[in-house]
């Protein structure tokens, strides 16, 4: 098997004669009007240096790849065999006219096609000019839950503030004794009650992990923005705490210390509390505890400024330890009950104890280091593999969750969150993007040694846990943001090996997980599969499917893939279908999970034969190449396969990559048409997205429009849009 098969889409536009002539000129370095074998090889080396400066085992120029080719009987090495596929006769010369005719047989898309997919802004803008009602609906689908939650928080702050303000406006004895300051101080204290509660709860990772199991709570609260929410609540808390202090220090303390107010003061505090000077107010438990706690609050805030965090992250971490004495003082602040019951302590009790428990647990875990292996994937990514000490499974760690990681060699106090990208048996992996001082130090450490010790806390969250609520899913991610969804692939891979149905096992393991859908398919993005799939007329009757059908993903032992090296066979109207769309800028980013993607494709083969699972993995490389030679060789290398190396000579993936930005309007439309053509009449499809909100709005709009379209056709097909944010 030797193959040069570029991806051909409905929008396919072949290379123009002008582009091929430009390619010819780049090859014809001696200007003799012909292209020979040596010139083609020279240009390939030149282009390969740009496309893949660091050779990997799947690259056509890698020594191991060339040795493998020799063993299967090629004349010469793998490079020679590849070049022979580009030239009609190995070693022959081609004139300009012959060369143009021959290059057209390669079926390489024109650069203009990539341009139209990536930079044709006018067409995209026209497409995005939706009617106001649809734009508003799409905006609300993406941002609405956040708006509702923020409105609830603000409403709580206003309600408690107004409540306290009204109480002291009506409390004439307090106003006569303490003046205007008591109204200002107590109104701001009322605002602080819910503010401190939300500020503390946003720090609790275990609480978010527990509550996000609820579909409806997670629909309103975006737990993945908890850090940003915590910062906003902290700023609000500092602002209102300062106003509260101003109300007392410049209002009640001054007014109440006047000689003329001592009788009024005695009426509310008792005769033994008077006379009171200004310093006497400060020396009271509410006075000094409030001033010290406010000072600690300001200290924590200043040590949390971005410039401080960037300068020394440990200063930021140590500064946050001051929150424990701060909230202890705040709990004691109102215990004197001078004007009312000690309400703040009651509000702080549960969230403060929860955070204290979590921090103590993490502190202890920091001394229980676990052996780990570190690998530098490229200059922008690091992989850490962690094994359990006793060889047991990471049974409590699920797809899409994240952990807090500590590397004692770098810092004893720094814990950083990273998404679990793989969890197989007793081994867990996290892929870390290098984008800061700590991650840069981690990469440098990985270049020096492969074995390290790590501290581990978690698991937390589960952004992708609703994946198993749907039998049909479309998953869209970009760059390192795909790691939560790669964990799903790992989970699927494990289920293939264990011959179990991960959907049913997940649904039976949690009482909150509901069965939302049934039924779907498995295909790869190869041109042959897509062509053969549509070879039968759309009107051909097929078995109708609905959510009432109960699928079974148990792998039958006798079912094997006759071609395990290739893509899984096509199946029509399967039980379940999963479509992955991973967008990366450069093909090097695909190296992070190339082995996992290949294993998933192979593992899905037997299930595809049994019509049980249709797994579609689509990778999109968005970086544009202006040099025509680089553009052409990139397509050719990605499409080259042999028996000894049945994977892309560019990316190392078994399936073809798409070049250019994906058109999700067309992707979703095709998905819907596939369901209609397969006779599906009732289905709920989960569309999971992680990325820029503007793309999320487009996906949300298409989901709603396709649902409405299905309803007009008398079908019960519904697309549920679920946007996730991973930080």
| 578: nearest Cα among 674, 489, 450, 457 | 489
pLDDT given for residue 158 in this prediction: 97
Cβ neighbours for 2, distance < 8 A, ≥ 6 positions apart = 81, 85, 641, 642, 643
β 34-35/94-95 pair status: antiparallel
User: Cα separation of 116 and 350, whole Å?
Assistant: 56
* Helix and strand numbers, DSSP H then E, in the chain: 29, 16
How far apart, in Å, are the Cα atoms of 361 and each of 180, 314, 531? 45, 19, 56
Cβ neighbours for 84, distance < 8 A, ≥ 6 positions apart = 75, 90
- CATH 2.40.30.10 range(s) for the chain read 366-462
Question: How does 641-666 read in b/e, with b if 16+ C-beta sit within 10 Å?
Answer: bbebbbbbbbbbbbbbbbbbbbbbbe
Cβ neighbours for 7, distance < 8 A, ≥ 6 positions apart = 525, 526, 527, 639, 656, 657, 658
Q: What percentage of the chain reaches a pLDDT higher than 70?
A: 75
Question: Is the pLDDT at 68 greater than 50, yes or no?
Answer: no
pLDDT given for residue 609 in this prediction: 66
Q: Name the helix (H) or strand (E) containing 300.
A: helix 285-302
| 37: nearest Cα among 105, 72, 85, 69 | 85
**Of residues 216 and 195, more confidently modeled:** 195
Mean pLDDT of the chain: 77
pLDDT given for residue 60 in this prediction: 65
pLDDT given for residue 617 in this prediction: 84
Query: Is there a cis peptide before residue 459, judged by omega within 30 degrees of 0?
Result: yes
| 483: nearest Cα among 418, 533, 396, 554 | 418
pLDDT given for residue 479 in this prediction: 66
pLDDT given for residue 568 in this prediction: 46
Residue 240's pLDDT band (boundaries 50, 70, 90)? very high
User: Cα separation of 445 and 233, whole Å?
Assistant: 36
pLDDT given for residue 529 in this prediction: 36
* Coil vs helix vs strand at 428: strand
DSSP states of 564-624 as a string? TTSPPPP-SS-BEEEEEEEEESSGGGGGGSHHHHHHHHHHHHHHHHTTSEEEEEEEEE---
Query: Is there a cis peptide before residue 495, judged by omega within 30 degrees of 0?
Result: no
What average pLDDT does the segment 302-312 reach?
A: 90
| Predicted TM-score (pTM) of this structure | 0.64
Please provide the CATH number assigned to the domain covering 366-462.
2.40.30.10
pLDDT given for residue 298 in this prediction: 97
pLDDT given for residue 571 in this prediction: 55
How far apart, in Å, are the Cα atoms of 690 and each of 21, 368, 488, 577, 582? 41, 34, 14, 19, 10
What average pLDDT does the segment 641-660 reach?
A: 76
**Of residues 180 and 310, more confidently modeled:** 180
* Coil vs helix vs strand at 305: coil
Q: What angle do CA 122, 124, 129 make, to 5 degrees?
A: 95
User: Cα separation of 481 and 305, whole Å?
Assistant: 26
């Amino acid at each position: 098997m030797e193959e040069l098969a570029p991806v051909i889409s409905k929008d396919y536009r072949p290379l123009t004669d002008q582009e091929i002539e430009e390619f010819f000129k780049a090859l014809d370095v001696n200007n003799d009007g012909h292209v020979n074998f040596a010139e083609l090889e020279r240009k390939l080396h030149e282009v390969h240096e740009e496309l893949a400066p660091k050779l990997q085992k799947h690259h056509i120029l890698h020594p191991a790849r060339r040795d493998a080719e020799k063993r299967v009987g090629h004349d010469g090495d793998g490079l020679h065999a590849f070049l022979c596929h580009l030239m009609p006769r190995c070693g022959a010369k081609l004139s300009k006219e012959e060369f143009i005719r021959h290059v057209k047989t390669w079926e390489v898309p024109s650069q203009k096609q990539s341009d139209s997919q990536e930079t044709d802004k006018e067409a995209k803008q026209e497409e995005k000019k939706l009617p106001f009602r649809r734009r508003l609906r799409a905006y609300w689908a993406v941002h609405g839950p956040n708006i509702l939650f923020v409105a609830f928080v603000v409403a709580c702050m206003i309600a408690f503030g107004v409540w306290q303000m009204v109480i002291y406006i009506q409390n004439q004895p307090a106003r006569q004794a303490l003046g205007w300051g008591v109204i200002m101080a107590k109104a701001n204290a009322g605002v602080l009650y819910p503010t401190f509660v939300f500020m503390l709860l946003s720090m609790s990772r275990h609480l978010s992990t527990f509550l996000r199991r609820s579909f409806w709570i997670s629909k309103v609260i975006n737990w993945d923005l908890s850090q940003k929410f915590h910062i906003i609540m902290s700023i609000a808390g500092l602002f209102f705490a300062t106003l509260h202090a101003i109300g007392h220090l410049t209002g009640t303390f001054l007014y109440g210390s006047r000689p003329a107010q001592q009788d009024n003061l005695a009426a509310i505090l008792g005769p033994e509390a008077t006379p009171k000077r200004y310093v006497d107010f400060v020396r009271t438990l509410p006075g000094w505890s409030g001033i010290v706690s406010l000072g600690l609050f300001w200290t924590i805030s200043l040590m949390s400024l971005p410039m401080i965090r960037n300068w020394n992250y440990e200063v930021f971490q140590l500064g946050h330890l001051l929150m424990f004495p701060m909230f202890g003082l705040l709990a004691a602040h109102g215990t004197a009950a001078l004007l009312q019951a000690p309400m703040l302590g009651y509000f702080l009790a549960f969230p403060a104890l929860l955070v204290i428990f979590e921090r103590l647990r993490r502190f202890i875990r920091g001394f229980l280091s676990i052996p780990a292996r570190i690998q530098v994937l490229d200059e922008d990514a690091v992989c850490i593999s962690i094994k359990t000490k006793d060889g047991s499974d990471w049974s409590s760690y699920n797809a899409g969750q994240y952990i807090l990681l500590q590397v004692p060699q770098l810092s004893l106090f720094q814990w950083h969150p990273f998404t679990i990208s793989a969890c197989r048996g007793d081994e867990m992996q996290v892929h870390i993007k290098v984008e800061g001082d700590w991650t840069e130090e981690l990469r440098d450490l990985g270049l020096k040694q492969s074995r390290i010790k790590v501290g581990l806390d978690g698991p937390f969250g589960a952004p992708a846990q609703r994946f198993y609520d749907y039998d049909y899913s479309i998953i869209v991610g970009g760059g390192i943001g795909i790691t939560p969804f790669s964990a799903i692939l790992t989970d699927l891979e494990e289920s293939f090996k264990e011959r179990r149905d991960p959907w049913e096992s997940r649904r039976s393991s949690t009482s909150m997980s509901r069965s939302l859908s049934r039924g779907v398919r498995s295909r790869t993005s190869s041109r042959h599969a897509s062509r053969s799939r549509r070879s039968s007329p759309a009107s051909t009757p097929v078995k109708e499917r609905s959510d009432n059908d109960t699928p079974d993903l148990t792998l039958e032992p006798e079912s094997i893939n006759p071609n395990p090296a290739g893509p899984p066979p096509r199946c029509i109207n399967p039980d379940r279908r999963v479509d992955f769309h991973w967008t990366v800028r450069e093909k090097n980013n695909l190296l992070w999970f190339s082995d996992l993607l290949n294993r998933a494709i192979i593992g899905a083969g037997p299930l595809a034969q049994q019509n049980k699972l249709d797994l579609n993995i689509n990778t999109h490389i968005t970086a544009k190449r202006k040099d025509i030679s680089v553009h052409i060789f990139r397509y050719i290398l990605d499409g080259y396969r042999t028996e000894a190396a049945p994977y892309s000579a560019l990316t190392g993936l078994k399936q073809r990559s798409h070049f250019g930005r994906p058109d999700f309007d067309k992707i979703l439309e095709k998905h819907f048409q596939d369901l209609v053509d397969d006779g599906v009449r009732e289905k709920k499809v989960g569309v999971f997205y992680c990325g820029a909100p503007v793309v999320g709005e487009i996906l949300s709009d298409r989901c709603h429009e396709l649902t409405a379209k299905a309803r007009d056709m008398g079908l019960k097909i519904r697309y549920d849009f679920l946007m996730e944010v991973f930080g």
